[in-house]
Amino acid sequence: MKADEVSMQGGGYYNENCSLQELAIDKSLELLSPIQGQGSSTVLADYGCSEGKNSIRLLSKYLARVPSISSATLVFNDTPFNNFSSLAATIDANLDQLSLDGKLAINSLLAPRSYFQQILPDGFVDAGFNFTALHWLQHMPDASSNASTLSAAAHKDLVAFLSARYKEIRPKGTLTLCIPIHDDIGIAPILQCLETTVRNLYSTYQADPSVLAQTPLYFRTMDEILAAFDAAEGKWHVKKRTVIPILHPSWSPVISESGSSAIKSSACDRYADAVTGMAIAASSQVLIEDLKSQAEQKDRLVDSAFPDKATFLDDLFRHCKEEFLRTHCQDKVGFTYALLELERV
């Protein structure tokens, strides 16, 4: 499986388990600069939109801040392996929200291509966005990868992303990035539980735990991000940059209280439900693709959805949640974000 074939879990699963990413959108929009007039129409592009729930939230809230427009073209981009059927259904179901209850004429475009390449015409976009996506690398790490090689790959990826967006975004247009970075608040506790769960379920499903170790994820530091802008040689003006630590919205202070109570138990259960769902939405597809590949190599009859997918996901969720409740429930799960508002020179 190639890195650009990695996708979030479709069929509505990601839409139902992306509340942390949703909170990042809300907090980021509060910090962006006031929007200047852009004429009667605007073009917005969300790079890395997945199934679209958070794209709808992002773009509709942004459009509400743009003065004096009557129409908007909205570009929804992700890799060709994204669930575009679910994305299209999400857009269709939320046209009223996107059009601000009919105030705007909306044209929606789907762009199924890796955003590490140019995907739109030169100077086409007024404002571009990438939220909770650039921590995914373009290439899968191998067994010999270390922190240095992953950092170099992440640098190359971000430079490629910025170069492609420089072509697509008009002069004085903007690009807003919200990138999960390496810091104290992160997702390591739930990822550890997921890896343990896959090992424990090996006798049942033969899912290879090492596949998770090869997931193309890398959490940059802010210095590593800024080094990519330096490599862009003056093509972008950094209007604003800040670091935003965000706990998963299901976290409650009662979880860290000593002792036990029905209230604490209920809070822990909700928290474990939410963070487990988030981890599986983001990481389970690589396991499913590995299982499908194993089945095909053994000449077993499989369909495109993998016959045991639903059962596998249910078991993975249940056991991972139990592992999190047992070993990590008092640990804080979330993302620390680097928020950057850029202007195209």
The pTM for the full model equals 0.91
CA distance 232 to 229: 5
> Can you give the pLDDT at residue 7?
59
CA distance 216 to 301: 29
> Can you give the pLDDT at residue 155?
97
Asked if residue 61 belongs to a domain, the reply is yes
Residue 302 has pLDDT above 50, yes or no: no
For the chain, what is the mean pLDDT? 90
Residue 301 has pLDDT above 50, yes or no: no
Q: Using one digit for the tens of pLDDT, what is the confidence trace for 312-326?
A: 899 999 999 999 999
* Domain, as residue range, for 63: 3-185+215-248+333-344
Confidence of residue 304 (pLDDT cuts 50, 70, 90): very low
Asked if residue 236 belongs to a domain, the reply is yes
What average pLDDT does this structure show over 121-142?
94
Asked if residue 205 belongs to a domain, the reply is no
Q: Give the three-class secondary structure for 101.
A: coil
Asked if residue 316 belongs to a domain, the reply is no
> Is 303 or 35 the better-scoring residue by pLDDT?
35
As a dihedral over the C-alpha atoms of residue 215, residue 118, residue 342, residue 100, rounded to 10 degrees, the angle is -90
Burial 205-233 (b: 16+ CB within 10 A, else e): bebbbebbebbbbbbbebebbeebbeebe
> Can you give the pLDDT at residue 260?
83
Residue 13 has pLDDT above 80, yes or no: no
Asked if residue 210 belongs to a domain, the reply is no
> Can you give the pLDDT at residue 5?
54
> Can you give the pLDDT at residue 124?
98
Residue 19's domain is classified under what CATH number?
A: 3.40.50.150
Q: Based on the structure, what is the number of domains in the chain? A: 1
> Can you give the pLDDT at residue 43?
97
Residue 293, CA distances (Å) to 185, 289, 312 in order: 35, 6, 15
Amino acid at 249: P
Asked if residue 321 belongs to a domain, the reply is no
Rounded (5°) CA angle 287-292-298: 130
Q: What is the edge-to-edge ordering of all strands in the sheet holding 105-112? A: 105-112, 71-78, 41-47, 125-131, 169-181, 334-344, 236-247
Q: Using one digit for the tens of pLDDT, what is the confidence trace for 225-255?
A: 999 999 988 899 999 999 999 999 999 999 9
Confidence of residue 1 (pLDDT cuts 50, 70, 90): very low
CA distance 246 to 123: 34
DSSP characters over 23-59: HHHHHHHHHSPPPPP--SEEEEEEES-TTSHHHHHHH
CA distance 164 to 304: 33
CA distance 173 to 38: 10
Asked if residue 150 belongs to a domain, the reply is yes
Nearest in space to 324 (alpha carbons), one of 251, 219, 244: 251
> Is 140 or 331 the better-scoring residue by pLDDT?
331
CA distance 341 to 242: 9
> Is 324 or 14 the better-scoring residue by pLDDT?
324
DSSP characters over 145-194: --HHHHHHHHHHHHHHHHHHHHHHEEEEEEEEEEEEESSSSBSHHHHHHH
Instruction: Give the least confident one: 96-105, 180-189, 211-220.
Output: 211-220
Q: Using one digit for the tens of pLDDT, what is the confidence trace for 35-51?
A: 876 789 999 999 999 99
Asked if residue 320 belongs to a domain, the reply is no
What average pLDDT does this structure show over 54-80?
96
> Can you give the pLDDT at residue 37?
64
Amino acid at 56: I
